Amino acid sequence: MKAIRIHGSKHVRYEDAPMPQVGPDDVLIKVKAAGLCGTDLELYDGTMFYLTSGMAQLPLIPGHEWSGEVVELGSNVSEFSIGDRVTGECSVGCRSCSYCIRGWYNQCQFRTETGILNRDGGCAEYISFPKHFLHKCNKMEFAESAFIEPTGVALYATKLISVCPEDYVAVMGPGPIGLFAVQTAKAYGARKVILVGTRDERLAVGRVLGADVTVNVSTENLLGKVREATDGHMIDAVIEAVGKSAVWDDIASIIAPRARVAMTGLFAGAKCSVDFDPLVVSNITVFGVLGSPGVWDEAIDLHERGAVTAQPLITHHLALSEFVEGVEIMRNRTDGVIKVVLEP
């Protein structure tokens, strides 16, 4: 089969690769769509934390956002059928440690992460995947079901901070995670969702997807607009999807007492300056959000019943062999790119 394989910093080949082995609990899938994200850019550049810390090893087939069609079943697999449309999780735990047993397999010390951490991903013609972390999405188009992974990250954040109809919610960052977070917060009944960013074209997409208010912090007064939108109440729940240290000052300026904050971005080692006194006095809770454990079936259901959609985010379709071109389109923000889909 053909696959994209990263051999080193900016060293990528579209090359022949062995067909994946199918164990008794595995399913062989013909990949139909693979999405690109910022993590793929970091893997390509060699700057991703797992690489620089020695956690992950190269060469690696990237692709943690993918979907495809079942073509072969392992001997122990009865949950899937040939022809099923499926997508697979990013975090794959050992299923036996204390974290996995409690459903926290995203923290499993033995975990692999598809296309990121010591497990080949979906930027290939075929992928073999364990049945325990595979999900049917038969009612969805392949291109859209490739984005259950970022939907799951947004949904996991939404659930961790218990978004409910009483909440004024701020989503920091109109990238793919933020745009999915707008939708998941609305699906959970948020009183009002305020999307914050710096790119008018992305904020406009956010309004299409349900954001009640948008704020361009480079041209508008964030505090004033939030105060007006919430009748002075301010923000009960924040979903951060920026990964830039300056975001914390914006968050701190708009949160109400007892606010809950979900941090989904990775900051590449950059430090935030935090004044803890107001956080203590106001009983603020801050959650770190890694991955999307336990929410994939719900994320698929949200898509299938139309509460969430990826369609407005899919801006570019490329061939699998055009991986590097897709990464550079993302880096340079070419043609209003939001999500690039590779199609083997």
Residue 239 pLDDT exceeds 80? yes
Q: Indicate whether 230 and 187 sit together in one domain.
A: yes
The enclosing H or E element of 49 equals helix 49-52
- Beta-bridged to residue 16, according to DSSP, are 2
CA distance 288 to 33: 29
Strands 255-263 and 235-240: parallel
CATH number of the CATH domain containing 247:
3.40.50.720
Q: Indicate whether 324 and 208 sit together in one domain.
A: no
pLDDT band for 243, please (50, 70, 90 cuts). Answer: confident
Q: Indicate whether 21 and 106 sit together in one domain.
A: yes
Q: Indicate whether 59 and 193 sit together in one domain.
A: no
The structure's pTM equals 0.95
CB 148 within 8 A of CB 173: no
- Nearest Cα residue to 338 out of 231, 210, 178: 178
Q: Which residues contact 278 (CB under 8 A, 6 or more apart)?
A: 252, 284
The enclosing H or E element of 45 equals helix 38-45
Q: Indicate whether 224 and 159 sit together in one domain.
A: yes
Tokens of 38: 């910022």
Distances (CA, A) of 107 to 114, 129, 141, 250: 14, 20, 31, 29
CATH number of the CATH domain containing 91:
3.90.180.10
CB 244 within 8 A of CB 23: no
Characterise 335 by phi-psi region: left (phi > 0), alpha (psi -120 to 50), beta (else): left
CA distance 110 to 145: 27
pLDDT in tens, 158-203: 999 999 999 999 999 999 999 999 999 999 999 999 999 999 999 9
Helices H, strands E: what count in the chain?
12, 18
Range of the domain at 92: 2-147+310-343
The values of phi and psi at residue 294, to 5°, are 75, 10
pLDDT band for 106, please (50, 70, 90 cuts). Answer: very high
Could you tell me the sign of the dihedral formed by the alpha carbons of 241, 262, 169, 273, in that order? Answer: negative
